[in-house]
Structure 1
Amino acid sequence: MKKINFRNIRIRKVDPAELDDGMLLLNLYLTQAITFVLGLTIVLFQSQSLIALLRLPDRLSAWGWAVLFAIGVLLFDWLVARFVPEEVTDDGGVNKKLFRLRPLWHIALLSFVVAVCEELLFRGALQHAFGPYWTSIVFAAIHVRYLRHWLMTGMVFAISYGLGKMYVMTGSLWTPIAAHFIIDFVMGCIIRYWKDEEDGEG
């Protein structure tokens, strides 16, 4: 049997410009499907009640906390974009490639899918086992495109930790889902519409 020489294996950084739109979308939806199945499996192995976990919050304040948290994150992100050099916040062009030409309904769909799948895994499953701190470490680590910059990694960790504390405070998984959705949806719309106007493409 021929041995594999691992020293000859090279990992090449992929330029987002090289990815075609269909491949990018397929990769995103496939990743989210895996995230959802993994989260669901862990929740069931933990003997949590999926019905109880996905029950809508019984207090209106839970939705209010989601909106306030999302506004806080978006304001902080605006300040970072305004005062920090662009190369520090660069994600390799992935978000721009993903949202730049996307219709509004698809931005909303992508944001909802990502919010539900990621929050089920991280807040619903992993946080149940490890708490918000260690869950946020993992959450920041999987956002590999930000790991080159300590500021962006710190922001992702802080957002995740805030979502985790909000889940603990409200007792509803829909609170972090709603906040996550608002953040991604507004960011996607900014990339799609506002950035295009700035670049003279809109």
Structure 2
Amino acid sequence: MKKFDIRKIRVQKVTADQLNDRLLLINLYVTQALTLIIGLIWLLFQRQNPLRLLEFPEGLHFLAWGAGLAAAVIAADLVLSRWVPEEASDDGGINEMLFRERPIWHIVLICLIVSVCEELLFRGAIQHSFGPYWTSIIFAAIHVRYLRHWIPTGLVFSISYGLGWIYIESGTLWAPIVAHFLVDLVMGLIIRFRRNT
């Protein structure tokens, strides 16, 4: 049996045109697994119970918070896309590659995994330590592909701050999870079904 040598792992920057679908999905799922693991470890250091944090709340008020923020974000994004040139919001083609040819069930799965993993880490753990402002700066910074342009970076920061705000107001992590899921799902479906003109 061949021995695994961690020293042979190389990290290098690649562009969207150097990625194939398999590599993109591996990257996505590995980063989400790392996000989940870091979030769980951070929560345990804070002496928070991750299962309690993910307890389903009584009543459906969190759906109104999540759907309301998602509707506002989607409306703002659609308005901005009318007036902002496409190159000013370019993410290097990653979203296009991720959603363009993906089956709908897989888009739903991706959005669900991303929303749960990222909200557990960012709203559940990091916001508990640093508050919504600094959490939003970190959230915007990890979305590296947007950092080349100030408009998408500002939008990601604002969305993150909104997610933090509805988490505080609703009292449940499920409100930002729902909002994050709906925003990603609608944007993914727009990319999936958009006609190229």
TM-score, normalised relative to structure 1: 0.89
**Superposition deviation, residue 97 in structure 1:** 0.5
CA distance in 2, matches of 1:176, 1:117: 11
1:96 correspondence with 2:96: yes
Alignment partner of 2:101: what SS? coil
Identity of aligned pairs, percent?
Answer: 56
**Superposition deviation, residue 49 in structure 1:** 2.0
**Superposition deviation, residue 148 in structure 1:** 1.1
Q: Structure 2 stretches of 5 or more lacking a match?
A: 1-10
Alignment partner of 1:165: what SS? helix
**Superposition deviation, residue 171 in structure 1:** 0.9
CA distance in 2, matches of 1:112, 1:29: 12
Q: How many residues align?
A: 187
CA distance in 1, matches of 2:13, 2:176: 32
1:35 correspondence with 2:28: no
**Superposition deviation, residue 150 in structure 1:** 1.1
**Superposition deviation, residue 13 in structure 1:** 5.2
Indicate the residue corresponding to 2:4 in structure 1: none
Runs of 4+ residues deviating >4 angstroms: none
1:174-185 matched pairs, under 5 angstroms: 174-185=174-185
Indicate the residue corresponding to 1:8 in structure 2: none
1:198 correspondence with 2:196: yes
Q: What do residues 18-57 of structure 1 show as CA deviations (whole Å, max 9, x unaligned)?
A: 2110000000000000000000010011101223201112
Q: Structure 1 stretches of 5 or more lacking a match?
A: 1-10
Indicate the residue corresponding to 2:120 in structure 1: 120
CA distance in 1, matches of 2:136, 2:32: 18
1:80 correspondence with 2:80: yes
1:11-90 matched pairs, under 5 angstroms: 14-90=14-90
CA distance in 1, matches of 2:14, 2:44: 36
Is the 1:17–1:97 contact (alpha carbons within 8 Å) kept by the matching residues of 2?
no
Indicate the residue corresponding to 1:189 in structure 2: 189
CA distance in 2, matches of 1:84, 1:50: 40
TM-score, normalised relative to structure 2: 0.92
Indicate the residue corresponding to 1:7 in structure 2: none
**Superposition deviation, residue 133 in structure 1:** 0.5
Indicate the residue corresponding to 2:144 in structure 1: 144
- Give the letter aligned to residue 72 of structure 2: G
